[in-house]
Amino acid sequence: MNKKAVNLKQTTCPYCGVGCGIDVTVNDSKLTRVDGSSEHPANFGRLCIKGSSVLETNDLSGRLLQPMIANATVSWDEATRHVADKFNQTIAKYGADSVAFYVSGQLLTEDYYVANKLMKGYIGSANIDTNSRLCMSSAVAAYKRAFGSDTVPCNYEDIEDTDCLVLLGSNAAWTHPVLFQRMERAKQLNPNMKVVVIDPRKSATTELADLHLAIKPGTDVALLNGLLNYLFANQLIDNEFVSLSTEGLELALEQSKLWTLEKVAQVCDITVQELETYYKWFAHSPTAVTFYCMGVNQSSQGTDKANAIINCHLAAGKIGSAGNGPFSITGQPNAMGGREVGGLANMLAAHMDIENDKHTDLVQRFWQSPRIAKKAGAKAVDMFEKVKSGDIKAIWIMATNPAVSLPNGNEVAKALEACPLVVVSDCVDNTDTMEWADVRFPATTWSEKNGTVTNSERRISRQRGIMPPPGQAKHDWQIICDIAKAMGFNRGFNFTHPVDVFEEHARLSGFENNGQRDFDISGLAGINQTQYDKLRPIQWPVTKDYPLGRARMFDDGRFFTASKKAKFIGVEAKDPVQKTSEAYPFVCNTGRIRDQWHTMTRTGKAAKLTAHISEPFVAIHPDDASALELVDGAIARVFSETGESLVKVKVDSGQRKKELFIPMHWNKQFAANANINRLFASVVDPVSGQPELKHAAVNIEAY
């Protein structure tokens, strides 16, 4: 073998928000092997099965390789001209808010940056939202209410350093496996570490738990208000921290004082003893981390739930030091990077606010753009409702499959059917959403894309372009810049390499900042291509004061509110919006399985990954199965007011009675009638706009 033809490239996994580093062996221009990067601080050499199988999903089968209009292959020039003209005509006739971009946590930060710049600074609308709305927007809204900024306080070492790890609404063993391996090891090294898992169902994660609280779904705020009340009633409040660094405790206590142990236990449907054990462990352990995920965020009260978690950490002073803090974990590889560049309809670039005149003025001056959006645009669910109603007449969907992933799938299909112009950029040619595409743009994917992502602990890592784009595929940032220029916006989009975009993003983050805003990577301004190619994983902020990044936020007790104090938010426990009834007596919960990713458009290609669980299923308690004469392996019809799904029965004693669990992944290619999100109505959290995907009212019968 010619040794010169073999080399190693470092990149980042394209799947979950852990953001593991991957070493790729390249042999004669072919990717031949992947290993976890031993140097990457997210994984230190570990990979889960999805990451280690990434090469099996990376061949050219099923790739979209040519631009297409209707079903005809066209040149890039023709496709670009067609879309730019249609967008311009629509805007001229109906205004800027008649067009929209629906983007993705799969995009790299550089892609996201130019998409946001085009929509908000040049088209002049904020109608750009992302599938990350479905992932972590409740966590964002809660951080902003409490800290004045979207700042994740913790890092992964806190999970290992803590004395009490509370996993709330997370099946980390399957959804964030490498972090879960770090938890297992931490528990082995420190057997006194307490692990509490709060989840209505038994899962692979509950096997690590010293205490599993199988609470009634939707009762999290009662549980957490009870904890705040317990801290107060037992003089366990950190008075010094509360008086120096917070405000508003009285308001939060107003709500929480109603929640006695007995009342919480009754509402959450657990014993007083179980409840008190959790409260004691949290309060009396020197340190505690609450690790929370979609079980909290994907809720009609997701923002309140996250603030109820933060309230308890503020009251106990368990924040801003090693092993302490409320820690939201993102699902996607770059949900965090999207937040940084303003890829949400209610945010501006660099964590600035779209409805803040100073911020819009600052960003417009920096961009020197012809206009700037000044009001929030349509959030994901609302965006597709506006498409259906005709308010939005042209939509560009990038790197995501909303026909499967958004709630109320039948209505999403009607929206796409009715829309005069649907443009889809994707690496895959046959997603469910593609059925409605008038124009298809072939985009690059992992191993071809070149840029940065940010993981759940604020760590920016490089995803490196190793292979050239196949066929006619282009990088998303290039496609967006080409469309911008074809629309007549020449000045702001003359980027020739992703480093140009990243450098502008870094400069904007520090522009007139002076420590006022949390997201600041001005220490990377001026970065050149060689430095960018060598960029090592680093946690923002990266500034003069923190040239090597900052591991933990709020260690100085100062927050980003006007008073520099964190705010307690009084939260009232509310019932989930989608309530059970005689016609729909079961609660339906959804989630991920260990070996699949999102709507399976890539992981569905790997035999090794589909071997784990090959068919969609519904988990049901044995008593319910027996009452309905449903047996393991039979096909069941699960139905709600909004749709139905056909799935295999899995009798599971880890389910609570009258509650079902169905995984979210299957697309039409792998199971024609299993689209689970059709069962969910378009219910969203009123603050964050994140849809409820954990609590639908459904019925089930033998099929």
List interacting residues with ligand SF4 (CB under 6 A).
13, 15-16, 18-20, 43, 47-48, 50-51, 176-178
Q: Is 60 exposed, middle or buried (0-12, 13-18, 19+ CB in 10 A)?
A: exposed
Neighbours of 630 (CB within 10 A): 22
Report the C-alpha gap between 384 and 65 in whole angstroms: 27
Nearer to ligand SF4, 206 or 456 (CB): 456
Residues 6+ apart with CB under 8 A from 692: 298, 299, 300, 407, 576, 577, 578, 680, 681, 683, 684, 685
Least distance in Å: CB of 590 to ligand SF4? 19
CB of 43 to ligand SF4, least distance (A): 6
**Alpha-carbon gap, residue 456 to 15, rounded angstroms:** 12
Number of residue whose CB is nearest ligand SF4: 51
Counting beta carbons within 10 angstroms of the beta carbon of residue 9, is it exposed (0 to 12), middle (13 to 18) or buried (19 or more)?
A: middle
Considering the complex, state which of residue 185 and residue 491 has its C-beta at the smaller distance from ligand SF4.
Answer: 185
Quick count: other Cβ atoms within 10 Å of Cβ 275?
A: 22
Instruction: Between 43 and 205, name the residue whose CB sits nearer to ligand SF4.
Output: 43
Angle at CA of residue 353, ends 348 and 356, nearest 5°: 125
Smallest gap from Cβ 163 to ligand SF4, in A, equals 25
Shorter beta-carbon distance to ligand SF4: residue 15 or 441:
15
Q: How far is the CB of 19 from ligand SF4 (least distance, A)?
A: 6
Alpha-carbon distance 428 to 316, whole Å?
Answer: 48
Nearest residue (CB) to ligand SF4, 407 versus 537: 537
Q: How far is the CB of 42 from ligand SF4 (least distance, A)?
A: 7
Nearest to 648 by CA among 623, 677, 613: 613
- Minimum CB–partner distance for residue 54 and ligand SF4 (Å): 8
Nearer to ligand SF4, 10 or 303 (CB): 10
Rounded CA gap, 157 and 185, in Å? 12
In the complex, what is the shortest distance from the CB of residue 466 to ligand SF4, in angstroms, rounded to a whole number?
A: 16
Looking at beta carbons only, is 19 or 153 nearer to ligand SF4?
19
Nearest-approach distance from CB 180 to ligand SF4, in angstroms: 8
Q: Which is nearer to ligand SF4, 379 or 449 (by Cβ)?
A: 449
The runs of H, that is alpha helices, within 466-514 are 476-486, 498-510
Q: How far is the CB of 614 from ligand SF4 (least distance, A)?
A: 19
Question: Which residue is it, tokens 């499959």?
Answer: 401
Instruction: Using alpha carbons, list the distances in angstroms from residue 562 to 66, 312, 325.
Output: 51, 22, 22
β-bridge pairing 644-651 and 617-620:
parallel
- Least distance from C-beta 133 to ligand SF4, angstroms? 21
CB of 592 to ligand SF4, least distance (A): 10
Cα–Cα dist 672/293, whole Å: 29
Q: What is the DSSP string of 21-83?
A: EEEEEEETTEEEEEEE-TT-TTTTT---HHHHTGGGG-SSTTB--S-EETTEE--HHHHHHHH
**Smaller CB distance to ligand SF4: residue 485 or 605?**
605
Q: By C-beta, is 47 or 119 nearer to ligand SF4? A: 47
**Minimum CB distance to ligand SF4 smaller for 49 or for 261:** 49
Q: For ligand SF4, which is the closer residue by CB, 114 or 329?
A: 329
Least distance to ligand SF4 from the beta carbon of 459, Å? 12
Instruction: Provide the minimum distance between the beta carbon of 387 and ligand SF4 in the complex, in angstroms, as a whole number.
Output: 31
- 8 Å CB contact between 146 and 569: yes
**Identity of residue 565:** K
Q: Could you tell me how many helices (H) and strands (E) the chain has, helices first?
A: 24, 26
- Cβ proximity of 330 and 456 under 8 Å: yes
Nearer to ligand SF4, 371 or 594 (CB): 594
Spell out a b/e string for 236-273, using b for 16 or more CB atoms within 10 Å of the CB, else e: bbbeebbeebbbbbeebbebbeebebeebbebbebeee
Strands (E), 93-215: 99-103, 128-130, 164-168, 194-198, 211-213
